[in-house]
Structure 1
């Protein structure tokens, strides 16, 4: 009887005549399918939307508060010679540093991966290690070693020495992974080594080149540490001075908005270039052959001297400066206790920031790996927006947000954790998405077929499979939070000092010996993810190749 009732209730199936395509499904079924394609996995999508909304709080609140100032006041602050000079100086600094980083990064990567340079692995590690030195530590080392070392060009030198690994690492990976067949064809057609490099090799590594250059330019726009210590009058320094010393919130808001616009324009320009770019994938099956190594001949030892000189400037000056002052700084009365308290605060605040960041990144990363699509891509791009903004802008926005909207959060650990999450969410999203993409989805499908609900599948199958990637992302975010300076200065609870803030406090009053222990400990902690990045780039692989 049950079957009879079911048959009576269900509409009769209409089979298509032979030779004709089957009839399309009813309109309502097509509508449901379209909605499912548009909004995949509603629960995961909903939590991802909430996560992105939380991360965008600083940007949204910055826009609201700037608009409240009114058109006249905005024009009064904006249409000044000082803002024009700030824009020219900031963009000029970004252009000079990016050009210097491209030169050092590409040159170092080519020497390490494509030539018979002696001690290639050693120099590869040296070229990556400046990434472990925060710019404010490098600025502190230089200004405490060289008299009157401040201004535009000293700032450009320090930022170039600290930032060129952003170009070196992706270019080294691209040169290591590129198929040498195109270069061999070019050489067989009579082109020399230089023309082959410019016409073929550079075109192959162009995505890595432009990506690294963009990272450098964004880093310079957002840098506060070197700009403040070396007294380079850029937007980030002017914003901090307007808020912290001048108590001019409107000026700080307007300058922050201008910096946001510059950052968005830079990102839009890079995206437009990338859309027009070519594709560089290797065609054909088979294993990748190692590239041929060029013989340097008489230029071997000048190349070694050049790489050693860059390493001495980028790593030697900070190392010598810290070593000279470490003994005096540690021997100060009460210094060990202060260092221990600052280290404990750094660990706790970074742990809270990493926990909140990973919590927000989890639904976005899982959605990106398991249900790619237009809306998923939009959410992922929105999560990257705040990462391109300076920490001083994020911190300033959340200060206003905490005072006027969420006062119970003001001067608490969790407001600072929100600032960290807004700044470093893309690092966590990339880690979660990469781990989830490598985990086989068939196991989740089997669990659902056995009657387990979405939450149970997430807890018992998905999370255990992605746990290594989540752990790696959490470690990277944790260490990045420890190095963050401007957001920590603006958002930390009153009386809570970290390694970064203590370093900045002592440096601003020229107490370089007292600042040295904090700087040394920060560099030591930052060297761990740098080593991992160097290993992933391929520069630590075997000496294979011809």
Structure 2
């Protein structure tokens, strides 16, 4: 997703003389989104080099680094294999019920990571620890790889794969030598998002009792009140995130050019034949594990728990509050992502790439680090906003801006450069070309960006606990209150509502990302 190449090279927009406000606006937004990094650096510097040496030299830090890196490697590899494999089965074979499987494979995105952890832990305590964390996070995050890879395969011209098969190469050889390089940019972008999620996740790991840098940072901030030590630990996460962004940039851009398949140009799907039952069993097992277990756990606790004693007004208020804040964050983040995506994609300079990379780095920061950065800024420079709704919205925007940027950037990759050039040749001003040509063409991508931000902001936990106005309760905070007291039955309604509210954005995201099926259109 983040590494999709520009199929037609730099757009004429990159040579606009009149788009003088684009660069300042993009750089200002990127600087605002990345400002928590500056604050973390300042806080870390306040402790001094001697304390940093003692802190980072502790055996605990080595253990945290090992736990975080090994988990990230295992989950990223597992999600890459599962996501790519599922996308190939759905998009390149005659798998029965392809449309149904596409939806079922994407729906696990509707279950927040900490709700998934709650689902497993409430049923069995044996899931705690490293392998439990690998299982839970793989089930949560593989759709981040499946969706962009499936979208790439659906839109790509299949001529190279047809030629490969006509030369006598079997399905496996074609998959490894042609299909995999074709999907490499999408695969690398999805893997980057998975890795960044893992670096900053707290709620699921707290439930699974698996210690990472994020859980240790939460302890330093919340329990030890040591902002300087926590900031120094957070800098390690930033370094890991920077390494991931650099690796993705190199890996993703080595993929082959993706060309949109023309009508009727889709290749004949590979015939599974006697492997059809095995393929169905594999996808069925994946769906049952990723989606069936949470649904079963929520149903179990709704029936067997004490959820019927909850006041209805409390549930309704939490729903309305969650919807309001997530919608506000989605609108602001999507609007802010447009200038940054335009600047990075159309200009392609080092400064543009640096601004885009800095925005992505914030996704690796734990929610509590972002929250305390926002609190620090508000107290010093905007005190009237302290414990007001804009403070919580700002935290959401900073946290989930990379998701909006990813979706908008992918949408820009689909804009035909010739359309803009024709408009400019007719004397249309750059601003008018942007408003009348470019933005309408990327409007579906803007909808995807808003859906992604709303989906994640509506289930954000850690930042919400610190930034919410006094007395404000969202579904996530009410859920956490009950699960902290092991009241699994009382927590179930809030978890179920979070999942229910997340389903429409996930369905919209799936439709916007994949678009129409060329084989279905041809059949029509």
What TM-score comes out, normalization by structure 1 length? 0.82
**391, 397, 401: which one aligns with 2:367:** 391
Give the equivalent residue in structure 1 for 2:390: 414
Give the equivalent residue in structure 2 for 1:54: 32
**172, 175, 178: which one aligns with 2:153:** 175
Give the equivalent residue in structure 1 for 2:56: 78
Q: Kindly state the Cα deviation for residue 540 of structure 1 after the two structures are TM-superposed.
A: 6.6
Q: Which moved more, 1:285-294 or 1:166-175?
A: 285-294
Structure 1 residue 318 and structure 2 residue 297: aligned? no
Give the equivalent residue in structure 2 for 1:251: 229
**453, 467, 475: which one aligns with 1:491:** 467
Question: 2:451–2:506: 8 Å Cα contact kept in structure 1?
Answer: no
Q: What's the Cα RMSD here? A: 3.4
**91, 95, 104: which one aligns with 1:117:** 95
Structure 1 residue 304 and structure 2 residue 280: aligned? yes
Q: Kindly state the Cα deviation for residue 270 of structure 1 after the two structures are TM-superposed.
A: 2.1
Question: 1:49–1:379: 8 Å Cα contact kept in structure 2?
Answer: yes
- Structure 1: gaps spanning 5 or more residues: 1-35
The change in CA–CA distance for 1:72 and 1:374 in structure 2 (over 3 A counts) is closer
* d(CA) in 1 for partners of 2:415, 2:278: 45
Q: Which moved more, 1:135-144 or 1:107-116?
A: 107-116
- Equivalent positions of 1:71-470 (< 5 A) are 71-275=49-253, 277-281=254-258, 289-327=265-303, 328-334=305-311, 336-365=312-341, 367=343, 375-404=351-380, 406-429=382-405, 434=411, 470=446
Q: Kindly state the Cα deviation for residue 137 of structure 1 after the two structures are TM-superposed.
A: 0.8
Question: 1:444–1:462: 8 Å Cα contact kept in structure 2?
Answer: no
The change in CA–CA distance for 1:38 and 1:393 in structure 2 (over 3 A counts) is farther
What TM-score comes out, normalization by structure 2 length? 0.85
Give the equivalent residue in structure 2 for 1:508: 484
* d(CA) in 1 for partners of 2:251, 2:370: 28
Q: Kindly state the Cα deviation for residue 147 of structure 1 after the two structures are TM-superposed.
A: 3.2
* d(CA) in 2 for partners of 1:313, 1:124: 16
Q: Kindly state the Cα deviation for residue 158 of structure 1 after the two structures are TM-superposed.
A: 0.5
The change in CA–CA distance for 1:478 and 1:292 in structure 2 (over 3 A counts) is same
* d(CA) in 2 for partners of 1:270, 1:448: 37
Question: 1:132–1:523: 8 Å Cα contact kept in structure 2?
Answer: yes
* d(CA) in 1 for partners of 2:443, 2:182: 34
Question: 2:43–2:227: 8 Å Cα contact kept in structure 1?
Answer: no
Q: Kindly state the Cα deviation for residue 114 of structure 1 after the two structures are TM-superposed.
A: 2.0
Question: 2:362–2:398: 8 Å Cα contact kept in structure 1?
Answer: yes
Question: 1:370–1:437: 8 Å Cα contact kept in structure 2?
Answer: no
- Equivalent positions of 1:521-536 (< 5 A) are 521-536=497-512
Secondary structure of the equivalent of 1:290?
coil
The change in CA–CA distance for 1:83 and 1:459 in structure 2 (over 3 A counts) is same
Q: Which moved more, 1:362-371 or 1:63-72?
A: 362-371
The change in CA–CA distance for 1:204 and 1:56 in structure 2 (over 3 A counts) is closer
Q: Which digits, 9 at most, give the CA deviation of each residue in 1:271-319, with x for residues without a partner?
A: 23345x2533459x97662123222222211221221111111111111
Secondary structure of the equivalent of 1:69?
helix
* d(CA) in 2 for partners of 1:158, 1:478: 22
Q: Which moved more, 1:431-440 or 1:67-76?
A: 431-440
* d(CA) in 2 for partners of 1:459, 1:535: 24
Q: Kindly state the Cα deviation for residue 179 of structure 1 after the two structures are TM-superposed.
A: 3.3
Question: 1:224–1:392: 8 Å Cα contact kept in structure 2?
Answer: no
The change in CA–CA distance for 1:441 and 1:528 in structure 2 (over 3 A counts) is farther
Q: Which moved more, 1:496-505 or 1:476-485?
A: 476-485
The change in CA–CA distance for 1:352 and 1:118 in structure 2 (over 3 A counts) is closer
Secondary structure of the equivalent of 2:265?
coil
The change in CA–CA distance for 1:539 and 1:120 in structure 2 (over 3 A counts) is farther
Q: Which digits, 9 at most, give the CA deviation of each residue in 1:227-282, with x for residues without a partner?
A: 1111110111111122112222222111111111111112122223345x253345
The change in CA–CA distance for 1:169 and 1:361 in structure 2 (over 3 A counts) is closer
* d(CA) in 2 for partners of 1:44, 1:488: 32
Secondary structure of the equivalent of 1:191?
coil
Q: Which moved more, 1:354-363 or 1:413-422?
A: 354-363
Structure of greater Rg: 1
Larger RCO (alpha carbons 8 Å, 6+ apart): 2
Give the equivalent residue in structure 2 for 1:17: none
Aligned length: 504
The change in CA–CA distance for 1:102 and 1:402 in structure 2 (over 3 A counts) is same
Q: Which moved more, 1:520-529 or 1:483-492?
A: 483-492
Q: Which moved more, 1:473-482 or 1:517-526?
A: 473-482
